[in-house]
Structure 1
Amino acid sequence: MKALFVVSLAVSVAAAPVAWAQAKPAPRTEAVNGGNARPTVELRVCNDSGRNAKVAVSYVEVGASQFINRGWYDVPDGACSNLVATDNANFYFYADATDGSGRRWQGNHSLCVEYPGPYAFHSDGSTECKSWQELRNFVPASATEPGAYTWTLAP
């Protein structure tokens, strides 16, 4: 009976959506009263690029099975902006310069965005976008502790 359960569990994990695999709880912290606090990571972007930028962020809340995709957050040159808070230690950033230069801050994790924005939508993390969306390569990031996580846009 145990073996049947293990096989059954393996099949359900293999069929899990892509987004489910991205959820990683933020490290726990002790609350002031001695209990466990629900940890959060505040996603922040600082722009040191010499250009104004628009930023998109995607993440999966722990226990959820879909990405939350949000954009476009204006982050002027020389400024820092707090975007969102999440209980997931894994998340993704993408940014476009707004000066017409074509400068992008991107990585290797493909997710859909919507132009011109603002936008907020849920997805399963697939690379098939709706007709009004475009695929972009996000920078994967991971927090090692709760609190602020800063992504810096360099020139």
Structure 2
Amino acid sequence: MNLEKMGEKRGLGSWSTGFCDCFSDCTSCCLTMWCPCVSFGRVADIVDRTNSCCVQGTIFCLLGGFSPFLSLYSCIYRTKLREQYGIEGNRCKDCIASCLCPRFSICQEYRELQARGFDVSAGWKGNVQVGSRGVTTVPAVQGGMSR
């Protein structure tokens, strides 16, 4: 698995699944419906390319009581994901999706990352480790070893 190829833009394309296709993947659907902070944290971790799943999930959970801020926060990550992977759309559509149906929005983002080859549950760090396991030989040292 080549993480750089997974991150390439291939021109403006559409989402790999529809907005309301939640039940095409019952695992991510159930996770997002019952624990949206976990799904959001995992998506944000991969979009940011950091190891921030717990931090992002906690922020999402804390903002849960303040719906306008939660929707805005979710919208920011939907826009980041869409722009990173060259998916057609705009910020207005991202905000509408995040405000009106935040769980459907997060679920679609989760499925999008899966369709692009990520193991979303492993997070960014886990995907990097899996991607680097393809190294089968140790690089040769020129001139031998010396002190």
Instruction: Please confirm whether the aligned pair reaches a TM-score higher than 0.5, indicating the same fold.
Output: no
* TM-score normalised by length of structure 2: 0.27
Higher strand fraction (1 or 2)? 1
* TM-score normalised by length of structure 1: 0.27
